[in-house]
């Protein structure tokens, strides 16, 4: 079970194939985009997620842990 916001994001991405649109992730987590942005910045700095623009949508994806 996820313990904090970062864990919730990582768990949700894992449960949904490793990536999803940022807006869908916010909806799934029932959080505001501005709050999600803070968590995603922390995870991106830690090298755990990568943000990519695909067809005009910002997609959050898990980075390989290799």
DSSP state of 48: S
Closest CA to 50 of 42, 41, 39, 60: 60
CATH number at residue 57: 1.10.10.10
Q: Find out whether 29 and 9 touch, Cβ atoms under 8 Å.
A: yes
* Domain enclosing residue 9, as ranges: 5-62
- pLDDT tens-digit series, residues 20-45: 999 999 999 999 999 999 999 999 99
Domain count, the chain: 1
Give yes or no for residue 1 having a pLDDT over 60: no
Global pTM reads 0.89
For 31-43, letters b (16+ CB in 10 Å) and e give beeeebeebbeeb
Hunting for tokens 């922390």 — which residue is that? 42
d(CA 19, CA 30): 17
Predicted confidence at residue 64, as pLDDT, reads 80
């Amino acid at each position: 079970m996820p313990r904090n916001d970062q864990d919730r994001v990582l768990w949700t991405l894992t449960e949904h194939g490793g990536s999803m649109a940022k807006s869908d992730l916010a909806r799934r987590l029932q959080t505001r985009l501005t709050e999600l942005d803070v968590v995603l910045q922390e995870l991106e700095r830690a090298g755990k997620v990568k943000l990519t623009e695909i067809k005009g949508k910002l997609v959050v994806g898990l980075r390989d842990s290799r």
